[in-house]
Structure 1
Amino acid sequence: MWMCYVRHSPIAAGILLLLLANQPPILARGSLGGHEDPWNSERIDRLPLDVRRAVTHMCGNAARAAHYFATYFDNSRLIKLHFEHLHCDEHAQFCRGTSCLRQEYISTGGHYQLMRSYYGRDD
């Protein structure tokens, strides 16, 4: 039985260590690359056209929303908007005390219509 022993030179090991230690700092902070602004206008842009128009009418073009501003149910047939998660530059107020505006839109015939508007607990 033949056995082969390979001896790595200390120089090769040193070069490998230098290459690994000389990585750019961005690799060390990789988790920061996925950071997303909590108030984002793209969440408004992704709403169906009918709903987006209604929100823009209420808030203006500078509307920005947090993650749970719009929630979708029944394969996106029903959309619920939680206005405590909406920020407008025009200082529109959608909350009073511990209650905030809620709206529910339903898709009928390819268009979304406001089905219900009410104030619910700010949570």
Structure 2
Amino acid sequence: MLNIRTLNPGIAAALLSLIITSQAFGRGSQVGHDDPWNPEHIDQLPLNVRNAVTHMCGGMPRAAHYFATYLDNSRIIRLHFEHLHCDHGGGFCNSAGCLHQEYLSTGSQYRLIKSYYGRGND
């Protein structure tokens, strides 16, 4: 076992710096490894919204980061189906754009209030 008290102060400082730097790099390398088509983006939705998306997808959906956006302190959830991937296809886009849906919080659940086709940048 290495006793840091018996080391030269310069060597002890260098070792301590090396340990802290390697720990910082170790933690930093864990960030940003999120799969771009991640089922966790669906899992984080409220249960009834998640169930609706899963039903529409016909299987296990995976979504990109901006599939769900939250407005008005999370009272409104906007879903952008151009950022959704379904194993069984999906067909959520056409010449008018891609399907978007808005859900409004009604207390314990969210209800669908708007469904439309639009550009991907709204």
Give structure 1 stretches of 5+ with no counterpart: 1-7
Q: CA RMSD in A?
A: 2.9
Deviation at 1:60, TM superposition (A): 2.9
Deviation per residue, 1:26-73 (Å, 9 max, x gap): x87865432111110011011001100110110133100000000111
Change in 2 beyond 3 A, CA 1:110/1:30: closer
Find the partner of 1:81 among 73, 79, 82.
79
Query: 1:122 deviation in Å?
Result: 2.6
Q: Which amino acid aligns with 2:40?
A: E
- Equivalent pairs counted in the alignment come to 110
Amino acid in structure 2 at the alignment position of 1:33: Q
1:84 is paired with a residue whose SS is: helix
TM-score by length of 2: 0.73
Percent sequence identity over matched residues? 60
Q: Which residue of 2 aligns with 1:61?
A: 59
The aligned amino acid for 1:108 is T
Alpha carbons of structure 1 residues 96 and 28: separation in structure 2 relative to 1, 3 Å:
same
Q: Which residue of 39, 42, 58 corresponds with 2:40?
A: 42
For the 8 Å contact 1:44–1:65, the answer to whether it is kept is yes
Instruction: Compute the TM-score of the two structures, normalised by the length of structure 1.
Output: 0.73
2:35 maps to a residue whose letter is D
